Structure 1
Amino acid sequence: MEDEATRTRRATAGYALALLATVVWSGNFLVVRGLSDALSPVSLAFWRWVVAIAVLAPFSWRGLREDWPALRAHGRYLALTSLLGVSVFNTAIYVAGRTVAAVDLSIIAASSPVFVILLTRVFHREPLGSGRLAGVALSLGGVIWLVTDGQPEHLLHLALGSGDLVMLGAALSFAGYTLLVRQRPAGVRLQSFALSSFVLGLVFLTPIYLWSAWDLPARIPDTPVLLAILYVGVFASVVAYLAWNAAIARIGPSRAAVVYYAIPVFSGLGGWLLLDEPISAADAVSAILIVAGIVMANRQGREMRRC
């Protein structure tokens, strides 16, 4: 058994890894906004996963070959997981990023755990206590406050194609992906699972990329665009995912998730410092409501597990 000092070091490393992933993912929202006029959403998503696969494959190829029989036996599961978590989720973020500020993107992204709670209730019949329900309601209220800029009555007049609603769809897609990841086939390594989902997600994305780029003139990206693609491919994809998986192995998903809710804070500060994006009162209120609601829901979940 581990002694107290070992457990402390393990927990400290877990929180540090979760914080690393959170900070890196926060930077992803800044890249989205910075490239909104330089690269199409589909192109950014396509080249992100090309880079991620090129970086991860040399380290994971042998494990993927050994785990392939288990992955092939769960082909439909892997296809749906890749579609939601790789193809749809990230591309939707990039689409929303053309019109939505970085801090708003991250605040709506932080609502994903609310959808996880609701979907878990629907598909796994997980009980919901009063505290969890109150947390869900509070967080959804924060999302509505953000989308309507502090005027909920505007819900009646929202355009279905608005960037905020696209980002909400991305959050829901990520929630579905999260539920599927919990059912990862036994014996499949995390790196093998990541690489196979990256590859399959890219396969789904390729026809859309080719169709969208068919009539566009070929051009060599400038240095800022190349650096941005490298960032989302190497850091926001490979580094962040591996750090997050390692954090969950050390401190568990619930504790790691608490760190994830700091994404709006880092994105808001980064957008203010690097992109001159203002932080409005509605942004601040929304972030407080969402984070408070999700923490409340998670606390209720921990209390129910202890009973």
Structure 2
Amino acid sequence: MNTFRTILFTLTSLFAFAANSVLCRLALSTEQVDPANFTAIRLLSAAITLALIVAVKNSTNLSKVSQFGSHSGAFYLFIYAAGFSYAYVSLGTATGALILFACVQFTMLLKGWLAGVKMTRQEYVGIILSLLGFLYFIYPELEKPSFIGCILMGLAGVAWAMYSLIGARSTQPLLDTASNFIRLLPIVLITLVWSYFTTDLQMSLQGWLYTIGSGALASGVGYAVWYVVLPHLKPSIAAVSQLSVPIWAALGGVLLVAEPIDLHLALSASVILGGIMLVILAKNKR
């Protein structure tokens, strides 16, 4: 893959990750989509999209897709998707993306530390800086209803980190991802049937478009593009590039959801992401 395509694919996937936050907020806050319906339809549309991609690439693999993925991977994927949706009922776009990204990185760092990975002084400084920024960010939320949203998004971040750690061992990432989404179809169908008999799945056209867009494009296509470009990126570059996701999500929230970015959020994001960058650069240097 040439340099131009690598940059193009990387930017496309990062925008897709940020778009998930924006589309979720648009669906839940603007169109009042139920978070359970959003989760189920998002997972269903992503599963269909990934199955189509697998079928186009190699139709013989689609019949054997159940041999890939894992129950643990599907479990963490579901916890991430559900926590993500319910958290955004009370969180702003930028706030949710920042909590999600920070918790993913903290979980991966903790997993490495528990596995006996030694850290340098710069890494410790970066971790402490990020934790202080995170505490500063969370403190004003302790007495607000959005604190529950913070907890749910933190849980989603931990689940996504565990899902990513499982995926890091994958030799067939696209097939494993498709399989994990497909494994969740029984839960998805039960949720949709329950919603149909209780709420008639009432949703505006815009709500349907936002929800399907989050699943089919931002999740299905976004993950597929990321897996294509990932082998062509150094781990440090892949990690640093994801620092931009909360920023893109914040800009999307301002432009599309009319959400302001206050000084508290800007300072918190700068400290947290700056600390994480110190850790990533230290690992790259080592």
**Does structure 2 conserve the Cα–Cα contact (< 8 Å) formed by 1:100 and 1:164?**
yes
Q: Which residue of 2 aligns with 1:165?
A: 151
Report the alpha carbon displacement of residue 278 of structure 1 after superposing the two structures with TM: 1.0
Match of 2:37 among 35, 43, 46: 43
Amino acid at match of 2:21: F
Q: Structure 1 residue 209: deviation in Å?
A: 5.3
Relative to structure 1, is the Cα distance of residues 159 and 20 closer, same or farther in structure 2, using a 3 angstrom cutoff?
same
String of CA shifts for 1:206-231, please: whole Å, max 9, x gaps.
545555x2762314532201211221
Q: Which letter maps to 1:17?
A: F
Q: What is the alpha-carbon distance in structure 2 between the residues aligned to residue 143 and residue 276 of structure 1?
A: 24
Partner of 1:179: 165
Confirm or deny that 1:190 pairs with 2:173.
yes
Matched, 1:246 2:237: no
Of 101, 106, 109 in structure 2, the residue corresponding to residue 117 of structure 1 is 109
Residue 119 (structure 2) aligns with: 128
Deviations 1:119-165 (Å, cap 9, x if unpaired)? 1222x32222222222122222222222223xxxx76x677961111
Aligned partner of residue 125 in structure 1, secondary structure: coil
Matches within 5 A, 1:1-307: 9-10=2-3, 12-37=4-29, 38-61=32-55, 62-66=60-64, 68-69=66-67, 71=68, 78-84=70-76, 86-111=77-102, 112-122=104-114, 124-149=115-140, 162-184=148-170, 186=171, 189-207=172-190, 210-211=193-194, 213=195, 216-304=198-286
Alignment deviations for residues 257-304 of structure 1 (CA, whole Å, 9 cap, x no partner): 211111121111111112121101111011111211111111111122
CA deviation after TM superposition for structure 1 residue 44, in Å: 0.7
SS in 2 for 1:148: helix
Shift, 1:95, TM fit: 0.4
Quote the sequence identity (%): 20
Q: Deviations over 1:85-109 (max 9, x none)?
A: x211021111010000001011112
| Alignment CA distance shift 1:203-1:161 (3 Å) | farther
2:61 aligned partner, one-letter code: G
Q: Is the 8 A contact 1:30 1:267 kept in 2?
A: yes
Match of 1:183, SS state, is: coil
CA deviation vs aligned residue, 1:70-90 (integer Å, no higher than 9, x gap): x3xxx7xx1111111x21102
CA distance in 2, matches of 1:67, 1:224: 33
Structure 2: distance between partners of 1:280 and 1:56: 38
Cα distance in 2, alignment partners of residues 166 and 63 from structure 1: 36
Backbone CA RMSD of aligned residues? 2.4
SS of match in other structure, 1:35: helix
Q: Note closer, same or farther for the CA distance 1:125–1:239 as it changes in structure 2 (3 Å cut).
A: same
The answer as to whether partners of 1:18 and 1:260 remain within 8 angstroms in 2 is: no
What letter corresponds to residue 51 of structure 1 in structure 2?
A: S
Counterpart CA distance in 2 for 1:175 and 1:198 is 16
- Give the counterpart letter for 2:35 in structure 1: P
Aligned-partner residue type, residue 26 of structure 1:
A
Q: What are the ranges of 5 or more consecutive residues in structure 1 without an aligned counterpart? A: 1-5
Segments of 4+ in structure 1 off by > 4 A? Answer: 66-69, 157-161, 204-211
Deviation sequence 1:160-201 (CA, Å, 0-9, x none): 9611111111111111111111122x4xx2221111011113
Number of residue equivalences: 279
